[in-house]
Structure 1
Amino acid sequence: MLSATTARFFGYYPGTVALVTAEHSGTRNVLSVGWHTALSADPPLYGVAVGRERGSHPLIVQSGQFGVNFLPLAAARAVQGAGVLSLHDRHDADKYARLGLTTLPHSPLAVTQAYLHYRCDVVNVVPTGDHDLFVGQVTEVHFDSAHYDEGGLFVGQAAVYLGRSAYVTTTQERQVYPPDDFV
């Protein structure tokens, strides 16, 4: 194994990229976020790291809420585009429309194309270097049952980011290790 001091492998890829949605005072945005994680089951907390210079940052701060959306491989172009297009660059353009994204009528932070969505209310903001970690309490969950089996196990085709604008998907082949195998 080779070792080096470099930022080249800093992204911890492969991994899923979440689309973070935010809206305040008539301005909405969607942003691709690679640094995100579940933080607690009770209460249900989810964290997303957002750069302070990003257009979504003030929308989250001012509204006190954000959405976390997971899209399948079929929507990887929109996932990539949400990270490349900037709210700062195109104030006249609706990123949702440009990327072919829609939202649920009763839940404007939920992207229709997502197989899983969390709506979160901000409960803490933790400065982490050049990003802020927004800790949100999950207050709403939407999921597309076509992507889950009867036991709630994901069986869809997740968009898995490899880095450098490349995506692959999950496979239907799986290994299951029951807990009693380790007793």
Structure 2
Amino acid sequence: MLSARTARFFGYYPGTVALVTAEHSGTRNVLSVGWHTALSADPPLYGVAVGRERGSHPLIVQSGHFGVNFLPFAAAQAVQGAGVLSLHDAPQFDKLARLGLTTLPGSPLAVTQAYLHYRCEVVDVVRTGDHDLFVGRVSDVHFDPAHYDAEGLFAGEAAVYLGRSAYVTTTRERQVFLPGDFA
């Protein structure tokens, strides 16, 4: 196996990009986040890494809440746009509306176009270099059943980020491995 060295770190791609939503005192924002992960099942905890210079950072700190939204491949342009457009550049415009995104009635952090949404209450903030890892307790989950099969497995087409503004999608082709396959 050949190996190469580089100062650039792209080894965490491909992966899904979550849209993190935040709202405080009438200001709302949406941000694309590539660094996110489930942290615990009991209690249900989810973490998102947000740069301290991002417009969403103070909204999350001040409100104590954030949303995590996963959008299908058909919405990849909005996912990319949420990372390119900045609340700092035009604080008067509604970034969600500009990207054609809406939220569920009564759930302002849940993006309607998402196949999966977590509402999280901040329980910890871990300083990690140039980002803060917001640890959120999942308090609400919404999902679109059209994107899941009868067994509850994802059956949609996720937007998978390759890096450098490039996306691909999952396919419906699956291979399932059973414990006996390794005997």
Superposed CA RMSD in Å reads: 1.0
Q: Which runs of 5+ in 2 are unaligned?
A: none
The structural deviation recorded for 1:82 is 0.1
The structural deviation recorded for 1:47 is 0.1
TM-score of the two chains, using structure 2 as the length reference: 0.97
Alpha-carbon distance in 2 for matches of 1:179, 1:20 = 36
Number of equivalent positions: 182
1:126-156 Cα shifts (integer Å, max 9, x gaps): 0000000000000000000000001100000
1:54-83 Cα shifts (integer Å, max 9, x gaps): 000000000000000000000000000000
Is 1:34 the counterpart of 2:34? The answer is yes
Is 1:107 the counterpart of 2:132? The answer is no
Instruction: Tell me the amino acid that sits aligned with residue 107 of structure 1.
Output: S
Q: What SS does the aligned partner of 1:139 have? A: strand
Instruction: Tell me the amino acid that sits aligned with residue 160 of structure 1.
Output: V
Q: Is the 8 A contact 2:70 2:117 kept in 1?
A: yes
Alpha-carbon distance in 2 for matches of 1:29, 1:20 = 8
Q: Which runs of 5+ in 1 are unaligned?
A: none
Instruction: Tell me the amino acid that sits aligned with residue 5 of structure 1.
Output: T
Equivalence for 1:4: 5
Q: What SS does the aligned partner of 1:100 have? A: coil
The structural deviation recorded for 1:178 is 1.7
The structural deviation recorded for 1:181 is 3.0
Identical residues among aligned pairs (%): 82
Aligned pairs for 1:143-154 within 5 A: 143-154=143-154
Alpha carbons of structure 1 residues 25 and 40: separation in structure 2 relative to 1, 3 Å: same
Q: What SS does the aligned partner of 1:87 have? A: coil
